[in-house]
Amino acid sequence: MINLTINGLNVSVEKGTTLLEAAHFLGFPVPTLCHMEGLSPYGACRLCVVEIGEGPRARLVSSCTYPAEEGLKVRTASERVVKARRMIIELLLASCPQSKVIQDLASAHGVMRQRFKQEYETCILCGLCVRMCEEQMMAKAIGFRGRGEKRSIGTPFDAVSGQCRQCGGCIYVCPACTLRCTYTEPEKAVCGACANLQPPCIEKDRFHDMMCYMDPCVACEIKKD
């Protein structure tokens, strides 16, 4: 067993446990986007960063990939962590405001605006779908292509994949599109899921029983085509 401290609480965990699992075990909330039980840790979204070490050697690491170490002191919500997390959420909102998951994250962390140029991307490249397809569905139908700005997810050469069984697992795990906000027209929703949960746009007539955390709601700003 490995003993470590998380936010001042001592905890013993088995060797190989990640800091994220240990923190969740103690009940500390650590937000994640690219992590899912049953899929291998990936460390791409950086939302789960926690602070380890002390003094000048203190640093942020992604808790989903970092193995518990003997005597490690972990802080899951230090000022440095919260500041970083809020900036990451702001970046997410700037790229993918229509995601309900991201909007919820924003509201939970008190991020009420984003200061970058608004983009409307449909993917945050968290890689959940790629790992789902490979590790759980054993299909390997999709993967990453390109680098940096040009990185994207798709089938080889964008051709219809013979490996894909259209199981829908990729869509099921997607934080950016499964719960896609319906803009102002619920009937055009991709899945309608958000309309049943915590839908946005309280200001609009047709959404009087709904709520939205963004002020102003970036999703509502999207021009209808």
Partner 1 sequence: MERLTTLRAFRDFRKRIAEPPPESGPTLVICAGTGGQASGSNDILRVIKRTIVEKGLSARISIRVTGCQGFCEMDPFIVVEPGARLYPKLHMEDVPRIIDAAVRGEVVEELLYRSRGEESIRYDSQGEIPFFKHQKRLILGRNAKIDPIRIFDYIKKGGYSGLEKVLERNEPAWIVEEVLASGLRGRGGGGFPTGRKWKLAKASSAPGTQKYFICNADEGDPGAYMDRSLLEGNPHGIIEGMAIGGIAIGATRGIVYVRTEYPLAIKHTLIALRQARELGLLGENILGSGRSFDIEIVRGAGAFVCGEETALIASIEGRPGEPRQRPPYPIEKGLWGRPTCINNVETIANVPLIFAMGSGEYAKIGVPGNSGTKIFSLVGKVMNTGLVEVPMGTTIHQIVHEIGGGSNTGLRVKAVQTGGPSGGCIPADRFDMPIDYDTLTAAGSIMGSGGMIVMDENTCMVDVAKYFMAFLKDESCGKCFTCRKGTQRMHEILDDITKGKASLDDLALLEELALVVKDTTMCGLGQTASNPILSTLRYFREEYLEHILHKRCPAGVCKELVGAPCQNACPVGTEAWRYVAHIARKEYDEAYRVIREANPFPSACARVCHHPCESFCRAGKSGGEPVAIRALKRFVTDTADPGAFQAKVPKAYKDAPKVAVIGAGPSGLTAAHLLSLTGCRVTIHEAESKPGGMLICGIPAYRLPREVLAREIASLMNENIDVILGSALGRDISVDGLLNDGFDAVYVAIGSHQSRRLQIEGEDAKGVLPGIRFLKAFNLEGEELAAGRVGVIGGGNSAVDAARVALRQNKVERVTIFYRRTIAEMPAYREEIEAALEEGIEIVPLVSPLAVVVRNGKVAGVRFARNALGDYDQSGRKRPVPVEGSEFEEEIDTLIAAIGEQPGTSCLSGLGLSKSGTLAADRRTLATDRPGVFAGGDVVTGSKTVIEAIAAGKKAARAIRRYLDGEPLEEPATAVLPGVFIPAHEGAKDEEPAARVRPPALSVKERAFCFDEVDRCIGEQEAIHEARRCLRCDLEFTQPDAEHGGAAAAGTKGNRA
| Residue selected from 7, 26, 31, 44 as contacting partner 1 according to rule CB under 8 A | 44
Contact 25, 90 (CB under 8 A): no
| Residue selected from 20, 23, 62, 101 as contacting partner 1 according to rule CB under 8 A | 62
70-109 positions binding partner 1, by CB under 8 A: 80, 83-84, 87-88, 91-92, 94-95
Contact 189, 180 (CB under 8 A): yes
| Residue (112 or 197) nearer to partner 1, CB | 112
What CA dihedral angle connects 160, 164, 165 and 168, to 10 degrees? -100
127-146 positions binding partner 1, by CB under 8 A: 127, 144, 146
Residue 161 one-letter amino acid: S
* Shortest CB 208 distance to partner 1, Å: 35
| Residue (49 or 212) nearer to partner 1, CB | 49
Residue 49 binding partner 1, by CB under 8 A:
yes
| Residue (101 or 126) nearer to partner 1, CB | 126
Other CB atoms closer than 10 Å to residue 183's CB: what's the count? 18
Q: Parallel, antiparallel, or unpaired: how do β-strands 73-75 and 2-6 relate?
A: parallel
* Shortest CB 146 distance to partner 1, Å: 7
Alpha carbon 19 to chain centroid distance?
Answer: 17
* Shortest CB 169 distance to partner 1, Å: 21
| Residue (43 or 192) nearer to partner 1, CB | 43
Q: How does DSSP assign 81-139, residue by residue? A: HHHHHHHHHHHHHHH-TTBHHHHHHHHHTT-----S-----S-----HHHHIIIIIS--
| Residue (26 or 60) nearer to partner 1, CB | 60
What is the distance between the alpha carbons of residues 165 and 142, in angstroms, rounded to a whole number? 12
- What three-state secondary structure class fits 196? helix
* Shortest CB 86 distance to partner 1, Å: 9
Residue 200's DSSP bridge partners are: none
* Shortest CB 62 distance to partner 1, Å: 6
| Residue selected from 8, 55, 117, 187 as contacting partner 1 according to rule CB under 8 A | 117
Return residues touching partner 1 (CB under 8 A): 41, 43-46, 49, 59-62, 65-67, 80, 83-84, 87-88, 91-92, 94-95, 115-117, 124-127, 144, 146-151
